[in-house]
Structure 1
Amino acid sequence: MAATDAYSNADVSETNAQVDVTCGPLLNFKNMDVTPSSSIWHGSVLIVTKPGQRQPRLYLRQAGPVTPDPALIQAAANTQGVTIYGLRLFEDPQKAFWRFSITLPLEDYEVRWSYTIPGLRYPDGGEAHSPWDFVVPSRTQSMRLMFHSCNGFSVGTDMEAWLGPNLWKDVLRVHAQKPFHVMIGGGDQIYNDGIRVDGPLKAWTSIGNPHKRRTHPFDNNLRAACDEYYFANYIRWYSTEPFKEANGRIAQINIWDDHDIIDGFGSYTDHFMKCSVFRGIGGVAFKYYCLFQHHIAPPKSTYTTDAPQTMQAVNGTAGADPRQLEDTFVLEDQAEDNSWIIGKRPGPYVEEKSRNLYMRLGKRMAFIGIDARTERTRHQVNYPDTYDLIFSRLEQEVVAANGEIKHLIVLLGVPIAYPRLAWLENILSSPVIAPIRLLNKRFGLAGGFFNQFDGQVDLLDDLDDHYTARQHKRERRIFIQRLQEFSKAHSARVTILGGDVHLAAIGRFYSNPKLGIHSENDPRYMVNIVSSAITNKPPPKAVANLLARRNKIHHLDPDTDETLMDFFDGQPGGVDKSASWNKVTMPSRNYACITEIEAAATNGDTAQQNGVSLPIPKDGHSPLHTGESTAGSAHLAADGVGSTSTLHGGLNVSIRVEINPQNREGAAHGYGFSSMLTT
């Protein structure tokens, strides 16, 4: 808790001043302090208000155990609530951001907490009468996770066909049955691409001459217009139900990706990425990413070409432009909370240091979230020294945990165990495309085939984003090998989360079968849960089938193979999404649930009895262990709630797939499997 945040036992009746709120509350998880004698949960609540408000207050009380127990309920009823004073992070003549920092001791039981913000009034005049609630684990639990990505719509989406963020209704239904302790946003929590279609970059995007477009200034007027666009888009999207309700009831952890800035940011050609407009919107997007998604104060000002002091990063933050500070308050000298792993130097196009995350997710689970956008170029995802910082912090934390950490969850912006599309890269970047590009520049031929920024084939920025792209192969291999070394050294199972690709799949790395290593003893066995998109439209069925045909056995190195797992044993709700033979890619909106397995089931995974393992298969097109052998709709974890399996101590994973985008209730079909601990 920051020194300027404050608690009080003041009665809630003292806090009845009206608070005109334009967005919120948004609930975040920050970290946990875990010692042999106690566990402390750290989080925050953010609201956005009109300027000039009195300091708002939040009233917090324990609402009781999640599992009914009369003795515990009585104890909770006797718990005195506290009033938390809001800390102002930022204010200008249009808006103010307030953070309430929350610190909770974990109990011997799973607890529901309730909070209200007295006097809260929305722009339509309605008041928030009902309290919000959230759930924290017991001190002996690992957290229950929900993972999502691509929570918005690409430009040009047919909104008659894809009816809003309906799948969040299924998230809330599952949460009501068995609460999530945290929801992890894997990037593209918001889509800001419209800034170039109907926003302040429309005129710039339409400039036909590439040189004029690259050299166009990003002056303070354009910056202010972009600032207004990003802020308004955040307010609109984060106030959209049912996403809005989830924001106030499930604590968030977020890492950004390109659409949080603009489509393809970081993966266009270097000379174009360095243009002033891209550097400018990178700074503006970073400002609101800090505020809305992390509840921290932003840099004092962002890049403009008409204030020279902002054009060169100083200690990772652009020099201040006094015009941007007129009638504006920015919280300074705030202590960084201990979840951050901050890069050593600014990114090449976003003039800020990368912000990677380490968090303890309960008793036996740890998490790292890699900021794969701030340092990204077409030829790198992250600086080598950033990986060193991440693994150094990870080593420090796991050693300090003295063997308690059994699972490491790694969040990436894009999948890392995924089919190669090198042949498509070669075609799209080959000389045969050059004549078509020339005709496009002069006559507009194949206009939709080329992007409006650097004139390259539009699909190339997506392919260049992938870890499996040829220019990222070495970086990818070294990263995976370091994770393998970590797993082996600490007997901790690594599970990777990745989104971006608008379909669901389960990739895995594993030891080459010739080595004769069972999965439970295999530090190379890592699952990549690919869950995307929770809101955006999926690719056509033909694309999913093409990727499935490219699902070969790949070799990361002589000892490590990789491929997608057969997982989707039928079409969701009987509605055809892909070919009947395609069991590895699912082109439908989806999200994932991840739960530590609590106890062995009496009649669960029949492929393993009395601890007997499956024989080592010929290759990864077959199940690698018993938790995979029963994967699919009938698995105990498929409903997103089940937490039992014969693989005690491992993870149950469910991917919840939307059946029909026209169903406003977000009806979903679940698929599940179990992953195991290392032994």
Structure 2
Amino acid sequence: MQDFYDNWDTQALYQSEVDECYTCDEQSPVPDAGILCGPTLRLIGVDYEHNLYRGSMLLVCRKIDAPSVSFVAGPSNGELASGNMNHGHFNKTMFYVEDGIEFYRYTIQFPMEDYEQLIKYTINGEDKPHYRFYIPSQTTNFNTISHSCNGFSLSVDTTKFHGSMWFDILNKHAKTHYHVMLGGGDQIYSDGVNIFCKGFQDWLKEKNPATKYRSHLTSELRTELDQFYLKEYLEWYGYGYWKGSTPKSKTTQKCFPIAMATIPSINIWDDHDIIDGFGSYSHSFQMNEVFRGLGKAAYKYYMLFQHHVSIEEKGPYLEDPSWLLGHQDGDYIGEKSHSVFTRLGPSNAMLGLDCRTERELKQIVSWKTYDIIFKRLEKEVAKRPIDHLMVMLGVPIAYPRLVWLEWIFSSRFLAPLKYLARKGVIAHGLVNSFNGDVELLDDLNDHWCARHHKKERNYLVAKLQDFGAKYGTRVTILSGDVHLACVGRFRSKLHSHHVGGSKQDEVKKVLNEPEKDLRLMFNIISSAVVNTPPPNGMAALLQKRSGVHHFDHETDEDVVPLFKTDVDGSHRAHGSFMNRRNWSDLIPIENILAHDYLRNLYQISEGDACFSGLVTSQGLAKLEEEAPHSGKEKQDVTYPITAKGLIATIHAEKDSLAKNSQTEAYAVVIPELQTTQNNLSHTGIKHINMSA
């Protein structure tokens, strides 16, 4: 093994990988023998009661003996004593076999130390620069990445994107040391099942609705579906290879599997991990045997590749303490939902909510599953306080309403047009090939603000507010799905009247003491890390729909004007929405202040009040001392730099044609919650009885 403390210059190492992003041919890169996929790293959980870091590594192999994985662990800081080095092997389990392809899970367990650890590993004696990962000290909260939409839609012209956000992630990781990646859904785009799986394609082409709905899942089609998802994962997770529906819809994102080998991940899933819109079509359609069989096949390989367990294993699949299992099997998957909870440091934690396994047209998560989830959170916070809870929801929950489009697309007045479109007479692409609804309706039905989900959405937001207020926990929601970046926000109501009166004093308090705002909750929306962003017109439409909404009589929701400056320094008219490819990170302020690179990037000190926006060469913009908010600046407010806070940064692509893959950083400070209160009032909340 090369010197333990070598410098890792990813810009020099992997520039050639980015240069080859769009030079792939039509041949699958999966070899006939050897390691077909991996290594990929997963963080299972961190147990601070027993001072134990738990993870796993996946290797998928064919026609070779089980690989041996050895490691060397030591302090990440070369100035520390080299006597702390630890050598060993990761124990392996062959936990699944299919058609001669063997899945090996390697157990990663380390005690937490009083220093950040660097773990370097070799596979059958082979050492690569990215065969390494970092474990923070037992007193340090994790540096965290959040990303989503890791793939292209079927018809995207990928030649318009010469860079790779994964290359940017690797370059930032070499300087920052990210400890975990939170995948917010659509880690793989499997919509090609309706093109490259002939049996499923034949079923889609059936014109007689009665015949289509009554079709049975044959053993041949079940095998074909399995083979499709297995091949998709081997190519994408193994080599970053993907192809869509046109000659220009293909790519090889080689930096993606490299990142998976060097930053442990925790994932939830969304519809494209299965097929576009799965769970948001009519109940009668989705109960069809063929469509349910597709969902079950996607779930099987999602668990294998993204969670390193087989649905046939009782222990790892059902009994690991990191799981929050749903109350009962989802109707269309036939398995329990698998939400995830773990600590991400001594005072930070994350909840990854499985919003797809139980999803139906009028349900995202069942009420009884919510009961299980919040009882677990109560149990966890009773063991050890939580300063920050990051909640992963695939679809944004604080986002402009588009209910008016739902009503148009579902109107009976469109029935004649939909009929003609299904017959191919007009408007090819107006309706989907599943149940003949308008193509965009499933996307709208997916949203928390859709009319079918308003009741559930408001219930979840109120429950998270109540939990945070009761225990002094700042809740931050992480979402993706929409292919652009923004930051939604809930906060205490800012009254518009009574200037000079007591209400105006309340407004000033909310603006000047956000660390005491019990209702403050951000929704960091970072999407897409790979897929194409929407046009400027969509960002402009969302800007027009992004005014202040009243969640209840005491809570407003809006969107933070984070992107008033574009990546080239020009002014942006739609300053709350960035339609460029992006990814985000959330870094504890304590870690920033103790780290040369991060401290120089943000240029902050404790006590600063920082605006949200572009991180320039002078760092974050700060409020002048002795200049508190008057109550007039109700959107562009500042947040304080305190020891227990976080900074959430969205890294937006500067130029999609540039192979150096550079980004600009846009940051918002997330203060901790410095007060508590039982039984927040939700008077005036719409669509929900809080006793539900």
Match of 2:475, SS? strand
Match of 1:584 in 2: 576
- Quote the offset at 1:664 in angstroms: 2.4
Q: Deviations over 1:232-285 (max 9, x none)?
A: 110111122100110000000000100000000000111111111110011111
In the superposition, relative to structure 1, how do residues 332 and 489 fare at CA in structure 2: closer, same or farther (>3 Å)? closer
Q: Deviations over 1:73-95 (max 9, x none)?
A: 4123xx33111231011012231
TM-score w.r.t. the length of structure 2 is 0.82
Equivalent of residue 75 in structure 2, options 39, 51, 65: 65
Match of 1:284 in 2: 297
Match of 2:601 in 1: none
Inter-partner Cα distance in structure 2 for 1:509 and 1:345:
32
Match of 2:618 in 1: none
Match of 2:285 in 1: 272
One-letter identity of the residue aligned with 1:392: K
Match of 2:327, SS? strand
In the superposition, relative to structure 1, how do residues 573 and 222 fare at CA in structure 2: closer, same or farther (>3 Å)? same
In the superposition, relative to structure 1, how do residues 173 and 611 fare at CA in structure 2: closer, same or farther (>3 Å)? farther
2:131 aligned with 1:117, yes or no? no
Inter-partner Cα distance in structure 2 for 1:133 and 1:246:
10
In the superposition, relative to structure 1, how do residues 512 and 232 fare at CA in structure 2: closer, same or farther (>3 Å)? same
Inter-partner Cα distance in structure 2 for 1:203 and 1:159:
28
Question: How many residues in Structure 1 have an aligned counterpart in Structure 2?
Answer: 590
Match of 2:670 in 1: 675
Inter-partner Cα distance in structure 1 for 2:210 and 2:402:
31
2:499 aligned with 1:499, yes or no? no
Match of 1:639 in 2: none
One-letter identity of the residue aligned with 2:91: Y
- Quote the offset at 1:339 in angstroms: 0.4
Alignment of structure 1 residues 156-555 onto 2, 5 Å:
156-163=155-162, 166-200=164-198, 201-238=200-237, 239-240=239-240, 241-299=254-312, 336-401=319-384, 403=385, 405-514=386-495, 516=506, 518=510, 519-555=514-550
Inter-partner Cα distance in structure 2 for 1:334 and 1:433:
45
Match of 2:285, SS? helix
Inter-partner Cα distance in structure 1 for 2:528 and 2:134:
25
CA contact (8 A) 2:309 2:316 kept: no
Inter-partner Cα distance in structure 2 for 1:564 and 1:603:
25
Match of 1:107 in 2: 113
Match of 2:467, SS? helix
Instruction: Determine what percentage of the aligned residue pairs are the same residue.
Output: 38
Match of 1:12 in 2: none
Inter-partner Cα distance in structure 1 for 2:316 and 2:469:
40
Alignment of structure 1 residues 606-621 onto 2, 5 Å:
607=622, 614-616=629-631, 619=634, 621=635
2:579 aligned with 1:571, yes or no? no
- Quote the offset at 1:199 in angstroms: 2.5
- Quote the offset at 1:109 in angstroms: 1.2
Structure 1 unaligned regions, length at least 5? 1-18, 120-126, 300-329, 628-645
- Quote the offset at 1:213 in angstroms: 2.1
- Quote the offset at 1:443 in angstroms: 3.9
Inter-partner Cα distance in structure 2 for 1:611 and 1:57:
62
- Once structures 1 and 2 are overlaid, which stretch shifts more, 210-219 or 535-544? 210-219
In the superposition, relative to structure 1, how do residues 617 and 472 fare at CA in structure 2: closer, same or farther (>3 Å)? farther
Match of 2:500 in 1: none
One-letter identity of the residue aligned with 1:448: G
CA contact (8 A) 2:398 2:489 kept: yes
CA contact (8 A) 2:130 2:258 kept: no
Q: Deviations over 1:436-490 (max 9, x none)?
A: 1122133431121111111111111000000011111111111111111111111
Match of 2:159, SS? coil
Structure 2 unaligned regions, length at least 5? 1-32, 241-253, 496-502, 594-603, 611-621, 675-692
In the superposition, relative to structure 1, how do residues 483 and 616 fare at CA in structure 2: closer, same or farther (>3 Å)? farther
Match of 1:555, SS? strand
Match of 2:160, SS? coil
Equivalent of residue 75 in structure 1, options 83, 94, 98: 83
Q: Deviations over 1:358-393 (max 9, x none)?
A: 100011101101000000011111000111111100
- Quote the offset at 1:590 in angstroms: 0.3
One-letter identity of the residue aligned with 2:112: L
2:21 aligned with 1:29, yes or no? no
Inter-partner Cα distance in structure 1 for 2:339 and 2:424:
44
Match of 1:573, SS? coil
Q: Deviations over 1:11-44 (max 9, x none)?
A: xxxxxxxx92100000000111113xx6211001
Equivalent of residue 46 in structure 1, options 58, 79, 93: 58
In the superposition, relative to structure 1, how do residues 347 and 218 fare at CA in structure 2: closer, same or farther (>3 Å)? same
Match of 1:346, SS? coil
Alignment of structure 1 residues 140-155 onto 2, 5 Å:
140-155=139-154
Match of 1:229, SS? helix
One-letter identity of the residue aligned with 1:209: N
- Quote the offset at 1:198 in angstroms: 2.8
Inter-partner Cα distance in structure 1 for 2:630 and 2:377:
34
Inter-partner Cα distance in structure 1 for 2:432 and 2:143:
40
CA contact (8 A) 1:56 1:85 kept: no
Inter-partner Cα distance in structure 2 for 1:235 and 1:92:
13
Match of 1:81, SS? strand
One-letter identity of the residue aligned with 1:208: K
Match of 1:90 in 2: 96
Inter-partner Cα distance in structure 2 for 1:411 and 1:80:
34
Match of 2:543, SS? helix
One-letter identity of the residue aligned with 1:20: G
Match of 1:415, SS? coil
Inter-partner Cα distance in structure 2 for 1:135 and 1:612:
41
CA contact (8 A) 2:148 2:183 kept: yes
CA contact (8 A) 2:564 2:576 kept: no
In the superposition, relative to structure 1, how do residues 331 and 352 fare at CA in structure 2: closer, same or farther (>3 Å)? closer
One-letter identity of the residue aligned with 2:118: R
Match of 1:349, SS? coil
In the superposition, relative to structure 1, how do residues 331 and 492 fare at CA in structure 2: closer, same or farther (>3 Å)? closer
- Quote the offset at 1:334 in angstroms: 6.7
- Quote the offset at 1:613 in angstroms: 5.7
Match of 1:13 in 2: none
- Quote the offset at 1:216 in angstroms: 2.2
CA contact (8 A) 1:507 1:563 kept: yes
- Quote the offset at 1:152 in angstroms: 0.5
RMSD (Å) for aligned C-alpha atoms = 2.1
- Quote the offset at 1:435 in angstroms: 1.6
Inter-partner Cα distance in structure 2 for 1:614 and 1:651:
22
CA contact (8 A) 2:143 2:586 kept: yes
Inter-partner Cα distance in structure 2 for 1:335 and 1:373:
18
Inter-partner Cα distance in structure 1 for 2:632 and 2:493:
10
Match of 2:491, SS? strand
Match of 2:326, SS? strand
CA contact (8 A) 1:417 1:563 kept: yes
- Quote the offset at 1:47 in angstroms: 0.4
Match of 1:203, SS? helix
- Once structures 1 and 2 are overlaid, which stretch shifts more, 166-175 or 198-207? 198-207
- Quote the offset at 1:556 in angstroms: 1.4
In the superposition, relative to structure 1, how do residues 441 and 609 fare at CA in structure 2: closer, same or farther (>3 Å)? closer
Match of 2:18 in 1: none
Inter-partner Cα distance in structure 2 for 1:176 and 1:479:
37
- Quote the offset at 1:611 in angstroms: 9.9
- Quote the offset at 1:615 in angstroms: 4.4
CA contact (8 A) 2:418 2:430 kept: no
In the superposition, relative to structure 1, how do residues 561 and 476 fare at CA in structure 2: closer, same or farther (>3 Å)? same
